Amino acid sequence: MGVTATSVWNNCLAFIEDNIQPQAFKTWFLPIKPVRLQDNALSIQVPSKFFYEWLEEHYVKLLKVALRKELGANAKLVYVIKMENKYGNNEPFTEKIPSSNRSTMAPQELDVPITSKNPELKNPFIIPGIRNIKIESQLNPNYNFENFLEGDSNRLARSAGMAVANKPGGTSFNPLLVFGGVGLGKTHLAHAIGVEIKEKYPERTVLYISAEKFTQQYIESVKKNTRNDFIHFYQLIDVLIIDDVQFLSGKSGTQDVFFHIFNHLHQNGKQVILTSDKAPVDMQDIEQRLLSRFKWGLSAELQTPDYETRISILKNKLYRDGVEMPEEIIEHVAKHIKTNIRELEGAIISLIAQASFNKREVTLDLAQQVVEKFVKNTKREVSIDYIQKVVSDYFEMDVATLQSKTRKRHIVQARQLAMFFAKKFTKASLASIGSQIGKRDHATVLHACKTVDNLAETDKQFRKYIEDLNKKFT
C-alpha cells in the first residue's frame, strides 16, 4: 500500500494525540481532513481561517515535528480553508495557505563586559532605565530567502547575500552593499540575510535599522549627551544591516559616527550590510572616506525584473495569499507593470480587493482597468536622478558631465532641461533640485526654467528636445 494523504495524516494524528490534552486534540485536530499529498507537501483542510490561525499560533511546532517524522526534513504543510461562497458562483471558495514555517524573532541578550566604562550602556531602542541589554533584531521574518525569488535581475545580489549569510564577516563581501531603484527588493533582501544568519547562528547579534532611524537615534543621543553610548551600543553588534544609506547624504555628523562604528566592526570581523538607491559612484554628499569604505566589499545591483521573474513573483504572491487567478490575468499584469516589484504586488492586491469588495470575479477586463490605473498613477513619479539620467542619455553625455561646472553651451542646455523637467515632474523644491543637479542654488534653477520656456518659443530645435524628452517622462 502506498503512502497517501490519509495514511500520512493518520500517523501524524497518532503522534499528536500522544502529545496534547485530549480536549485540545478533539477540538483542533479531529475536524481536520487530509486532502492531498504531493511531493512533500500535505494539504489539510480546516473549517475556517480562524482555525488555521489558531493552529499556526499554537500547534505549528507539533504539526511540523509530526509531519517531518512522516515525510522527512522537507515536509511542507498547506492549509486549505473551506469558506462560504463569496463570489456568487456555485463553487465553494477555497483558500490555500502554506504554513509560515517561521516563528517570530526572539530578542537577543547580550552580556556587556564588566570592564565597560559604561555600566549603564544605553540601548537606543529601549526606554532609559533598563539595565540589561536585550537587542531586538528588528528583523521581519516574512522577508526571507525562501520568498525572495531568484531571477537574472537579482542573481548576483541574492547569491552574495546567501554567501554572507553562510559566513557573516568571513567573506570578502564586507560590507555588502545592495543597490537599486525603488521597490526592487533591497529591504526584503537585507532582512532575508539577517533572518538567515539568525537561523544559522542564533548566538550572533543581528540588527536591522533604516539609515533614517539610525540618524534620529544619533541626533537624540547628541541632545542627551550620550553620543559615546550610542557608538558603543552599535559596536556590540555582530551583523549590522543599515537600509537606505543614501539617507545619510549631507548629514555629516551621522556619517562621522557611522564611520567610527563601521571601522570598529570591520576591524573585528563583524559583518556590515548596506542598501542604497544608487551605486557608490553616484552617491552625493557622502564623505569620500565613507564612500571608499563602501567600495571595500561588494556592490551588487538589483535590476528591474524580466518578464519570467515577474510572473513567478506574482504566482508566488498569490500562492502565499491563498488566491487562485487565471493565467491570462497574471500575464496581463506582468506584461504591463514592469518597473518595480512593489507596484506589481500593489496591482495584484488591488485586483484581489476589487474582486472581493465588489463580489466580482477577476476578469481580464477588471485586470485591464486596475493595471491601467496603476500605470497612470505611477508614471508621474519620476525621480530627479532618473530625469538626469534620461536627459544625459538623450544628449549622449554622462551625468557627471551634465552636472559639471562647465559653461559649454550644449552641456548648459542639457542641465537646464534637467532642471526644467525636475520642476515639472517632481514635487521637489527649487533648492532641492539645484542641490541634486550639480549643487546649484535655487536662483539658478529658476533661471533655467525661464530660459527653457523662452527657448521653447524661439528655437525650433530646442522645442524638439523638449518634446522628445517630454515623451520619455509621460
Residues that bind ligand ADP (CB under 6 A): 147-149, 154, 180, 182-188, 313, 341-342, 345
What minimum distance in Å lies between the beta carbon of 183 and ligand ADP? Answer: 5
Nearest residue (CB) to ligand ADP, 186 versus 423: 186
> Which residue is closest to Mg ion by CB?
187
Query: Which stretch, 14-22, 183-191, 382-390, 441-449, contacts Mg ion (CB under 5 A)?
Result: 183-191
Query: Which stretch, 2-10, 180-188, 324-332, 417-425, contacts Mg ion (CB under 5 A)?
Result: 180-188
Cell output for 95 = 483558500
Cell output for 307 = 518578464
Q: Binding to Mg ion by residue 246, rule CB under 5 A?
A: no
What minimum distance in Å lies between the beta carbon of 149 and ligand ADP? Answer: 4
What minimum distance in Å lies between the beta carbon of 276 and Mg ion? Answer: 10
Query: Which stretch, 181-189, 213-221, 234-242, 396-404, contacts Mg ion (CB under 5 A)?
Result: 181-189
What minimum distance in Å lies between the beta carbon of 244 and ligand ADP? Answer: 8
Count CA atoms within 13 Å of residue 311 on its CB side: 9
Instruction: Name the DSSP letter for residue 142.
Output: T
Nearest residue (CB) to ligand ADP, 17 versus 331: 331
Transcribe 223-278 into DSSP letters.
HTT-HHHHHHHHHT-SEEEEE-GGGGTT-HHHHHHHHHHHHHHHHTT-EEEEEESS
What minimum distance in Å lies between the beta carbon of 207 and ligand ADP? Answer: 17
Selected binder of Mg ion within 187, 217, 271, 276 (CB under 5 A): 187
Rounded distance, CA 261 to CA 240, Å? 10
> Which residue is closest to ligand ADP by CB?
185
**Cβ–Cβ contacts within 10 Å for residue 434, how many?**
21
Binding to Mg ion in span 397-436, by CB under 5 A: none
What minimum distance in Å lies between the beta carbon of 313 and ligand ADP? Answer: 5
Pick one of Mg ion, ligand ADP, none as the site partner of residue 36 (Cβ within 5 to 8 A by kind). Answer: none
What minimum distance in Å lies between the beta carbon of 374 and ligand ADP? Answer: 14
Contact 79, 44 (CB under 8 A): yes
Cα torsion 451, 456, 459, 464: sign: positive
Rounded distance, CA 337 to CA 161, Å? 26
Pick one of Mg ion, ligand ADP, none as the site partner of residue 329 (Cβ within 5 to 8 A by kind). Answer: none
Task: Give the SS3 label for residue 80.
Answer: strand
Contact 242, 214 (CB under 8 A): yes
Rounded distance, CA 372 to CA 409, Å? 40
Tell me, rounded to whole angstroms, the distance of Cα 120 from its chain centroid.
Answer: 34
Residues at the interface with Mg ion (CB under 5 A): 186-187
